[in-house]
Amino acid sequence: MSTAAKLNQNPLTDKKFLNAFVDGVIKTMSIMADTQVKPTNPKVEKQFEPKGEVAGLVGMVAGNMKGTLTISYTKNAIFKIIENMLGEIYTELSIEVTDAVGELTNQIYGSAKTTLNQIGYHFEMAIPTVIHGRFTISQYHSGTT
């Protein structure tokens, strides 16, 4: 499939596109946090609902395709992941926890981006943002989530 065709289709209908992120999570968690991930089937949501109290976000741009990768964690999950990463126990959201979420988001996006660029998407580099506490992510588009 040509690059132009990839950029004009809905990427969520491309199994290779979705699997790049699933594989990125599996690889990153295994390597960085000695954590084994058991993914379920990806699903399309009408509106993203945060699944936890902290999330990493990274903007994704490839040609005219724009989107945001969002990975949210419950406090207990991220505390266990960080304990596996650093050998330190955290019980509160702190700068160290948000830094770790940012690094995990960066690693997951980097892994997915490498795979996607090899199959013709050409995503650009991006810097992650981390949000925590009670948050809502509002969409100002009619695109797929």
Evaluate if pTM is beyond 0.75: yes
CB neighbour list of residue 40: distance below 8 Å, 6 or more residues apart: none
145: tokens are 């989530």
Whole-number pLDDT of residue 44 = 67
- pLDDT 10s digits, 104-145: 999 999 999 999 999 988 898 889 999 887 766 666 555 555
Whole-number pLDDT of residue 1 = 47
Q: Is the CB of residue 128 less than 8 Å from the CB of residue 58? A: yes
- pLDDT 10s digits, 16-27: 888 999 999 999
